[in-house]
């Protein structure tokens, strides 16, 4: 640190991730560049220090956004941060529409709901957090920051997810909310993104192996060839959808992924958690089905000679017949894959449940309280 940097006033910004899973990954990426963003967009005459922290998991269930703000405020006070920003994967609402962010000048904290930002959460958080920090410091009349930047209107223009701003400017309590229909669609896609469907896909490897085994056995049965030839596209589509639906339902029931309303989880929150779980599993199983279908086409083309298939079907065959054969075989094999899913690691499968969060492990210990300075 140079002598000129030592003489500049320091502002400490805390980034809290709750729970320490997907939000912690976003926070880690954001922490590495936030000091530079604050220098460029808020005030270059201030020495910005950014510190990571972890929030408690409990407020995501029973307290909503106010309890979450209180929790982060206690952390800010105990660690002596100037302001704190909380990143959470909790789907929040205000006036029956998705809540993107909320600031509290009294607490000197703000919370950002990552799912409400949609698919590009890191990019949106990178745009929002400097404005939230500037707005908080302006609301508390911090002389180290000019009140010219980071206004609510500027943040609303910068973030497509924000439809309007609620709250009184004098009170310093603002809520940035999304629109009704588009905001809810963005929230659902953001929940799936936060739930990391790729992790669910990789975690269902035994399911895919079981399905491949079933498909390989089915390919040797000429009855399946005749069934595929007799069924039309509509019935094959229905069989495929029934197979995928049965697989998703089996995964949810067998691994107890369904969230039930309780004193800690409201009915609305449980519905959102369940919808996020269903969408995540649907996406993962759909991708698995595409992989299975492609593999079945390849194996069928290699193992089943066209003359043998023609002899069974009593007509000339083309490549489309191999696609049809792979279609019905893959659909039936998904049922066999459901049996294989019962052999999956319980922790791996339960990670697909939106309301479930495994122990943070290394995330809680990694980079705890490490400062990142810039300017």
Residues 95 and 177: beta-carbon distance below 8 Å: yes
Residue-averaged pLDDT of the chain: 82
Q: For residues 284 and 279, what is the distance between their CA atoms, to the nearest angstrom?
A: 9
Phi and psi at residue 353, to the nearest 5°: -75, 125
Name the pLDDT band for 55 (thresholds 50, 70, 90). Answer: low
Tokens of 78: 């105990």
Give the Å distances, CA to CA, from 358 to 14, 89, 361.
24, 14, 8
Could you tell me the two tokens for 240?
A: 């495929």
Residue 162 in contact with residue 177, Cβ under 8 Å? yes
| 333, pLDDT greater than 80 | yes
Provide the whole-model pTM: 0.81
Strand 93-94 relative to strand 97-104: parallel, antiparallel, unpaired?
antiparallel
The 10s digit of each residue's pLDDT in 301-323 is 888 888 888 888 888 888 888 89
Of the candidate ranges 182-186, 199-203, 330-334, the one whose mean pLDDT is the lowest = 199-203
Residue 307: how many CB atoms within 10 A of its CB? 8
pLDDT at 344 exceeding the cut of 60: no
| Residue 50: strand pairing partners | 13, 372
Question: What pLDDT is stored for residue 348 in this prediction?
Answer: 63
15-24, 60-69, 85-94, 130-139: the lowest-pLDDT one: 60-69
CA distance 294 to 321: 14
More confident residue, 307 or 199: 307
Predicted confidence at residue 58, as pLDDT, reads 45
Q: What is the pLDDT of residues 356-367, one digit of tens each?
A: 665 544 444 444
Q: What is the distance between the alpha carbons of residues 128 and 42, in angstroms, rounded to a whole number?
A: 12
Q: What is the separation of C-alpha 352 from the centre of its chain, rounded to a whole number of angstroms?
A: 10
């Amino acid at each position: 640190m140079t002598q000129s940097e030592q003489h500049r006033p320091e502002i400490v910004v805390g980034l809290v991730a709750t729970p320490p899973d997907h939000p912690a990954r976003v926070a880690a990426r954001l922490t590495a560049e936030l000091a530079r963003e604050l220098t460029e967009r808020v005030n270059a005459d201030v020495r910005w220090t950014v510190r990571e922290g972890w929030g408690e998991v409990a407020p995501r269930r029973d307290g909503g956004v106010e309890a979450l703000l209180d929790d982060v405020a206690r952390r800010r006070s105990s660690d002596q941060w100037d302001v704190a920003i909380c990143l959470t994967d909790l789907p929040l609402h205000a006036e029956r529409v998705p809540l993107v962010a909320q600031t509290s000048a009294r607490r000197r904290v703000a919370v950002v709901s990552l799912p409400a930002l949609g698919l590009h959460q890191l990019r949106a958080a990178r745009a929002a957090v400097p404005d939230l920090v500037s707005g908080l410091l302006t609301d508390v009349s911090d002389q180290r920051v000019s009140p010219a930047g980071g206004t609510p209107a500027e943040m609303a223009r910068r973030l497509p997810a924000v439809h309007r701003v609620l709250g009184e400017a004098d009170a310093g309590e603002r809520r940035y909310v999304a629109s009704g229909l588009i905001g809810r669609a963005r929230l659902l896609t953001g929940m799936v993104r936060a739930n990391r469907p790729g992790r669910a896909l990789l975690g269902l490897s035994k399911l895919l192996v079981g399905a491949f085994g079933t498909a390989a056995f089915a390919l040797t049965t000429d009855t399946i060839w005749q069934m595929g030839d007799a069924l039309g596209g509509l019935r094959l589509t229905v069989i495929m959808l029934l197979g995928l639906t049965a697989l998703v339902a089996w995964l949810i029931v067998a691994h107890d992924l369904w969230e039930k309303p309780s004193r800690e989880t409201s009915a609305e929150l449980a519905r959102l958690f369940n919808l996020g779980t269903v969408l995540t599993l649907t996406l993962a199983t759909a991708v698995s089905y595409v992989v299975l279908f492609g593999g079945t086409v390849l194996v069928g083309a290699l193992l089943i000679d066209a003359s043998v298939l023609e002899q069974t079907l009593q007509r000339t065959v083309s490549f489309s017949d191999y696609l049809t054969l792979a279609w019905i075989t893959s659909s039936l094999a998904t049922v066999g894959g459901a049996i294989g899913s019962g052999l999956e690691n319980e922790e791996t499968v339960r990670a697909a449940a939106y309301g479930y969060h495994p122990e943070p492990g290394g995330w809680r210990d990694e980079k705890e309280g490490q400062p990142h300075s810039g300017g």
